[in-house]
């Protein structure tokens, strides 16, 4: 399998050839930053287009078709439109917190984004408690949303932010528990080791029933974490105009939009990392020829393909179910998902202790 660390190692040595070490590190960090911004922007645009086409397909419409072939240039047009809209200067708001909120939302998704395993040797932040760091970093986002709603001094934004706060913190528990289930199975929190452990079968197949239950719980909770699907009460447009970002205009609003789609990619990426093997190709023990053919497909294609597949599931979910009420949403989490998650954890522990997994 092609190892990307050969390329990065060569770059490192080449830079070290004519630069002192501190300058090399700086140049590399700047390169990483630029690459991250490019990947972030491109993915967000692709995801917006993907969602529009997919939702159109599910509703027997055509979606964007006018701008460019198959409406492909629509994604650039959307971003450009966002940039040239006026940023309205509001009165009666808490200016500092209002300006701070988009930074928090973007920083939270950027930190999580940096942890994703893109391919063999192609990963930015990778250390022994990687998954734990991901959970911690992604929970900063809720602060940004709460601040955005509170500082806008508007009834709709306040209600939207409070709903979003209650929803995101509640479902974070289920996300945490299903990640914990996989950590019990794998016995490690490092992202590289998690991926390596799945070289002879993905955790979804290796972990029997508990892994499957954890996968389903993760999908439901992830949909709620990203404020989408049947759980989009924070921005229920029929009741709350646009929820917590009602008062944001132009590019300021664009950040929330960007972060929503990037978070969709991030939760799909985490799902593919934990349950579908990250960048690891589909391997069946014993089928050596088949495994060799699968190894021929680049690892980055595997990762993005899996993420797009999980996103497809989440979007299917979103466009098939009506919005739930807040009491139904909290009931689902606290009375069903959370107890099931706890018992699933114990079940997984028993499976691991008695070596019942593959």
Partner 1 sequence: MELLSIQSTTLMVTALLTGIGLVAAALIIAKLISPKSYSPLKGKSYECGVPTRGESMMQFKVGYYLFAILFLMFDVETVFLFPWAVVCKTLGTAGLVSVGIFLAVLILGLAYAWRKGALEWK
Return the residues of window 264-323 that contact partner 1 according to CB under 8 A: none
- 199's tokens: 């070289």
Binding mask 77-106 for partner 1 (x = CB under 8 A): -----xxxxxxxxxxx-x-------xx--x
Q: Which is nearer to partner 1, 37 or 292 (CB)?
A: 37
Dist CA 152 CA 98 (whole Å): 7
Binding mask 130-169 for partner 1 (x = CB under 8 A): --x--x--------------x-xxxxxxx---xx-xx--x
- 228, 245, 252, 318: residue in contact with partner 1 (rule CB under 8 A): 252
> Could you give the C-alpha distances from 75 to 49, 80, 179, in angstroms and in order?
6, 9, 33
State which of positions 22-41 bind partner 1 (CB under 8 A): 25, 28-29, 32-33, 36-37, 40
- 203, 255, 256, 279: residue in contact with partner 1 (rule CB under 8 A): 255
DSSP 285: T
Dist CA 116 CA 137 (whole Å): 13
Q: Please state whether 281 falls in left (phi above 0), alpha (psi between -120 and 50) or beta.
A: beta
Instruction: Compute the least distance from the CB of residue 105 to partner 1, in Å.
Output: 9
- 184's tokens: 């019990």
- 63, 250, 298, 305: residue in contact with partner 1 (rule CB under 8 A): 250
Pick the stretch among 47-55, 229-237, 310-318, 345-353 that binds partner 1 (CB under 8 A): 345-353
- Torsion angle (degrees, nearest 10) of CA 324, 330, 332, 337: 140
Pick the stretch among 119-127, 200-208, 216-224, 268-276 that binds partner 1 (CB under 8 A): 119-127
Give DSSP secondary structure letters for 108-143: HHHHHHTTS--BTTB-SS--TTHHHHHHHHHTTHHH
Instruction: Compute the least distance from the CB of residue 160 to partner 1, in Å.
Output: 11
**Per rule CB under 8 A, is residue 349 in the interface with partner 1?**
yes
- 50's tokens: 């993907």
Instruction: Compute the least distance from the CB of residue 7 to partner 1, in Å.
Output: 10
């Amino acid at each position: 399998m092609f190892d990307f660390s050969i390329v990065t190692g060569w770059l490192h040595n080449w830079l070290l050839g004519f630069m002192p070490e501190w300058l090399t590190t700086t140049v590399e960090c700047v390169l990483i930053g630029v690459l991250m911004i490019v990947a972030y922007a491109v993915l967000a645009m692709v995801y917006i287009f993907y969602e529009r086409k997919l939702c159109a397909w599910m509703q027997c419409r055509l979606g964007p078709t006018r701008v460019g072939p198959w409406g492909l240039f629509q994604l650039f047009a959307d971003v450009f439109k966002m940039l040239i809209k006026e940023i309205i200067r509001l009165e009666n708001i808490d200016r500092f917190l209002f300006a701070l909120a988009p930074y928090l939302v973007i920083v939270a998704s950027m930190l999580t984004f940096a942890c994703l395993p893109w391919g063999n040797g192609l990963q930015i932040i990778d250390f022994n408690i990687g998954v734990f760091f991901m959970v911690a970093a992604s929970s900063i986002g809720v602060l940004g949303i709460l601040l955005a709603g509170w500082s806008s001094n508007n009834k709709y934004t306040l209600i939207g932010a409070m709903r979003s706060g209650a929803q995101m913190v509640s479902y974070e528990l289920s996300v945490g528990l299903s990640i914990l289930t996989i950590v019990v199975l794998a016995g490690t929190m490092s992202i590289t080791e998690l991926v390596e452990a799945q070289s002879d079968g993905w955790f979804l197949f290796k972990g029997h029933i508990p892994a499957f239950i954890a996968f389903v719980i993760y999908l439901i909770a992830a949909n709620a974490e990203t404020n989408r699907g049947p759980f989009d009460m924070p921005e229920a447009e029929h009741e709350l105009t646009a929820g917590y970002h009602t008062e944001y205009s132009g590019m300021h609003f664009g950040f929330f939009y960007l972060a929503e789609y990037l978070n969709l990619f991030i939760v799909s990426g985490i799902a593919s990392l934990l349950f579908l093997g990250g960048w690891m190709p589909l391997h069946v023990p014993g089928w050596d020829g088949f495994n060799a053919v699968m190894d021929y497909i680049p690892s980055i294609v595997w990762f993005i393909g899996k993420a797009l597949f999980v996103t497809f599931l989440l979007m299917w979910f979103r466009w098939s179910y009506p919005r739930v009420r807040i009491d139904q949403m909290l009931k689902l989490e606290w009375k069903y998902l959370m107890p099931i998650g706890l018992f699933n954890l114990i079940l997984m522990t028993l499976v691991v202790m008695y070596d019942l997994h593959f």
